[in-house]
Amino acid sequence: MQQGTIGVTTENIFPIIKKFLYSDHEIFLREVIANAVDATQKLKTLASTGEFQGEMGDTSIRVGLNPKKKTLTISDRGCGMTAEEVQKYINQIAFSSAGEFLEKYKNQSNAIIGHFGLGFYSSFMVAHKVEIITRSWQEGTQAVHWSCDGSPQYTLEEATREDRGTDIILHIDEDSKEFLEENRVSELLRKYCRFLPVPIAFGKEKEWKDGKQVDTDKDRIINNTTPAWTLKPTELKEEDYDQFYRELYPMAEDPQFHIHLNVDYPFNLTGILYFPKIKSNLEVQKNKIQLYCNQVFVTDSVEGIVPDFMTLLHGVIDSPDIPLNVSRSYLQSDSNVKKISSHITKKVADRLEEIFKNDRKEYEQKWDHLKLFIEYGMLTEEKFYDRAEKFALFKNSDQKYFTFEEYKTLIEANQKDKNDKLVYLYATDAVTQYSFIETARSKGYDVLLMDGHLDVHFINHLETKFKDSHFARVDADVMERLIQKEDIRPSSLPAEKQEELKPVLESLLPEGANFFVTFEDLGPAAQPMIITQSEFMRRMKDMSALGGGMNFYGELPDSYSVVVNSEHPLVQRLQQQKESELSEAIAALNQSLSPVSQELDKLRETTKDKKEEEIEQAVKDQRAELQQKEEELKNRKKATLQEYGRENKLARQLVDLALLSNNMLKGESLSAFVRRSIEIMEK
Ligand code: ADP
Ligand code: MG
């Protein structure tokens, strides 16, 4: 029997490992099994070079639980170790590298260290004692038994083991006893080992016998040793990819299509990425990609390794070249990771372009589910934008699809304004904005449907990209001003008549928002009254709703402009009605008002060159009195007009119709409108 002290400067490694690695204790199992896989693969390599000439036999790795002895044992039939090798690889190297690691990272957070695989010694996170019984593949070597309770003291002695290979026996700690439960171990094996290249046996296959589940004598193999990504694309059919997708995400809907990644220069990377059907809720979709290193599961959070928008994809990436055991901030600046990231971006763009070119119809069918992903990519990755501008699509209100280029060609002739700027008209809701879409189309314009989750941002982004163009929502203004071809004619209704008609209509507009009424001549064929919301204001509000940090706008009340088309026969009729029914009352009010206003004007004329303090008190008093009188009369006039408006069915009908085409007529007002309309028809 040999005894010795492990070459480590730290007094007692056991508590230190525990202290530093308290997050992610479960990775010990991955580490120990990964070593067993390595040992098995090593032996296969030795066999292929002819150094090892014995039988390979069954090389399954066995995971066994012994609840009585409180042990978890991992056995392999790999290359094993001689006593010298145990000395070298277990006693020297491993501990010294652990020591270095602790030296280097002692001031850093646990999160970082949790990702740092400590290899064999991570087993001390869950075990108070670890034993190794191992026998090398080489003829005539003696099996050895190594044992350590986590202090730097170990024992190494001769042992008996019939066969080559290694047993790692973990004496599980009281506070880690979850790792003695079959279900917990199953769960971990599934998480970390399900695609390892060597079969892992854990327990037996079960069968139903006499209404009970009983073990058969067949080993239960928990892993798929040749997952799809390790095969060549030529060896796989479409079904195989779908099948593998279901293996990864049993609950998910079938994906749209996949990309098989296979790179060996300048770095090694394999994998399969799937395009899921992307729904509007981005966050739940994210982070489904699994990262592997030689088929060992590492993580399913790939931020920093792939561009953010790629995290919407599903699938696996396997690379021995990604430095897995380091902190995330280091990862992001690693040049290999950057290359990998831009490579994947390029591959994804290639694939999309390929489908677009080869099968435009299929691509269009998938577009609604691809849109969010592609827009996200275009918004956040300049390089991806440059690729995707060739295959990103616009959909118009007829559900037809166009590339950016095609769409520009479509609208170029017709949708330029008088300043030669191209106007892209869009709607965010084909139903509620229907009447505006119709108006645009009746003028021969085309309307895009921009109803996606990111479209508010996307439109802003496109405006920075498209030259001499801008986007306008169909209901942002009257069509004549959205695409202004010529100067708009001012209303032929005299200003004082406009002032009289304003309160008539204003009295009928709903409370809680600001409405600004103006008059314009839009021609007898245009609608009598149109309510719009300015593009700028609405975008600011939309952005603040999406959390774009513009809360100021979010809190403002909604403001609308109300354009009254004074050339419309119904508006003219209303004007005439008002004249004939109200002219006497208004004339009377005007009669008392005009001398007051005249006197006030005169007074202002005489004092206009004087400073406020130079004006005599008597004059000031007179002025105040006149002002008050004028105000009173004006208010009375306004009240008369408002009252008239509230009683006027035509005015009410015009306002309600304008509100209705904007989806703003609701509840009680809506049913009043219906009743009134019926009454009108019955007449
Ligand atoms: P790494 O795997 O990164 O080399 P580990 O701490 O996991 O570091 O393992 C240290 C060494 O111990 C391995 O390199 C290997 O030589 C040896 N070893 C560990 N487990 C086994 C095993 N099951 N069979 C043979 N050798 C092993
Ligand atoms: Mg290892």
Residues 158 and 238 in one domain: no
Confidence check: pLDDT of 643 > 90 = yes
Residues 317 and 248 in one domain: yes
Residues 500 and 471 in one domain: no
Query: What is the model's pLDDT at position 334?
Result: 72
- Residue 28 Cα, ligand 2 centroid: separation in angstroms? 10
Residues 97 and 192 in one domain: yes
Q: Which residues contact 267 (CB under 8 A, 6 or more apart)?
A: 319, 321, 336, 339, 340
User: In whole angstroms, how large is the CA radius of gyration of the chain?
Assistant: 39
Query: What is the model's pLDDT at position 100?
Result: 56
Do residues 425 and 455 touch, judged by C-beta distance below 8 A? no
- Residue 120 Cα, ligand 2 centroid: separation in angstroms? 6
What integer is the mean pLDDT of 630-658?
93
* Nearest CA-CA partner of 16 in 124, 120, 170: 124
Query: What is the model's pLDDT at position 552?
Result: 63
Cα 275 to Cα 272, 286, 486, 496, 595, distances in angstroms: 10, 12, 47, 63, 78
Confidence check: pLDDT of 550 > 60 = no
On whether residue 370 sits in a domain, the answer given is no
Residues 441-485: pLDDT tens digits?
A: 999 999 999 998 889 889 999 999 999 999 999 998 888 888 988
Do residues 165 and 80 touch, judged by C-beta distance below 8 A? yes
pLDDT top residue among 349 and 611: 349
Substitution candidate for ligand 1 out of 86, 87, 120, 167 with most atoms within 8 A of CB = 120
Residues 191 and 302 in one domain: no
Q: Among the atoms of ligand 1, which is closest to the Cα of residue 78?
A: 24
On whether residue 614 sits in a domain, the answer given is no
Residues 186 and 322 in one domain: no
- Report the Cα–Cα distance between both ends of the chain, in Å, rounded: 115
94 lines ligand 1 (CB under 6 A): yes
- Residue 247 Cα, ligand 2 centroid: separation in angstroms? 27
Residue linked to tokens 């019955």: 682
Residues 187-212: pLDDT tens digits?
A: 999 999 999 999 999 999 988 888 89
The CATH number linked to 101 is 3.30.565.10
Nearest CA to ligand 1 atom 3: 119
What's the CA dihedral at 417, 423, 429, 434 to 10 degrees?
A: 30
Quote the mean pLDDT of the chain.
87
Q: Which residues contact 70 (CB under 8 A, 6 or more apart)?
A: 171, 172, 177, 180
Partners of 402 in beta bridges: 394
Residues 521 and 423 in one domain: no
Residues 46-91: pLDDT tens digits?
A: 998 889 999 999 999 999 999 999 999 999 999 999 999 998 888 8
d(CA 641, CA 579): 11
Query: What is the model's pLDDT at position 115?
Result: 40
On whether residue 387 sits in a domain, the answer given is no
d(CA 22, CA 465): 50
Nearest CA to ligand 1 atom 16: 89
Helices (H) and strands (E) in the chain — how many of each? 23, 22
Residues 186 and 44 in one domain: yes
What integer is the mean pLDDT of 506-519?
91
Query: What is the model's pLDDT at position 417?
Result: 92
267 lines ligand 1 (CB under 6 A): no
What integer is the mean pLDDT of 92-113?
50
Query: What is the model's pLDDT at position 267?
Result: 80
Confidence check: pLDDT of 220 > 50 = yes
Residues 253-284: pLDDT tens digits?
A: 889 889 999 888 778 899 999 998 876 666 55
Range of the domain at 264: 228-362
Residues 476 and 504 in one domain: no
Nearest CA to ligand 1 atom 23: 36
On whether residue 378 sits in a domain, the answer given is no
Confidence check: pLDDT of 412 > 90 = yes
Confidence check: pLDDT of 10 > 80 = no
Residues 8 and 78 in one domain: yes
Partners of 416 in beta bridges: 422
Domain boundary among 171, 196, 221: 221
31 lines ligand 1 (CB under 6 A): yes
On whether residue 582 sits in a domain, the answer given is yes
Residue linked to tokens 């990609």: 289
On whether residue 382 sits in a domain, the answer given is no
Query: What is the model's pLDDT at position 114?
Result: 36
296 lines ligand 1 (CB under 6 A): no
d(CA 461, CA 543): 13
122 lines ligand 1 (CB under 6 A): no
Q: State the ligand closest to the CA atom of 76.
A: 1
On whether residue 368 sits in a domain, the answer given is no
pLDDT top residue among 333 and 151: 151
What integer is the mean pLDDT of 139-147?
94
87 lines ligand 1 (CB under 6 A): no
76 lines ligand 1 (CB under 6 A): yes
Percent of the chain whose pLDDT exceeds 90? 55
Residues 556-586: pLDDT tens digits?
A: 778 899 999 999 999 999 999 999 999 899 9
d(CA 293, CA 299): 10
Residues 200 and 239 in one domain: no
What integer is the mean pLDDT of 158-171?
96
Q: Among the atoms of ligand 1, which is closest to the Cα of residue 36?
A: 23
Query: What is the model's pLDDT at position 324?
Result: 58
Confidence check: pLDDT of 529 > 60 = yes
- Residue 133 Cα, ligand 1 centroid: separation in angstroms? 13
Residues 442 and 345 in one domain: no
Query: What is the model's pLDDT at position 52?
Result: 92
Confidence check: pLDDT of 368 > 70 = yes
Residue 554 banded pLDDT, cuts 50, 70, 90: low
Do residues 563 and 532 touch, judged by C-beta distance below 8 A? yes
Nearest CA to ligand 1 atom 21: 35
Residue 99 banded pLDDT, cuts 50, 70, 90: low
166 lines ligand 1 (CB under 6 A): yes
Query: What is the model's pLDDT at position 332?
Result: 63
Confidence check: pLDDT of 110 > 60 = no
In the chain, how many domains are there? 4
Confidence check: pLDDT of 342 > 90 = no
Confidence check: pLDDT of 406 > 90 = yes
On whether residue 49 sits in a domain, the answer given is yes
Residues 20-45: pLDDT tens digits?
A: 554 578 889 998 999 999 999 989 98
90 lines ligand 1 (CB under 6 A): yes
229 lines ligand 1 (CB under 6 A): no
What integer is the mean pLDDT of 127-150?
94
Query: What is the model's pLDDT at position 169?
Result: 98
The CATH number linked to 456 is 3.40.50.11260
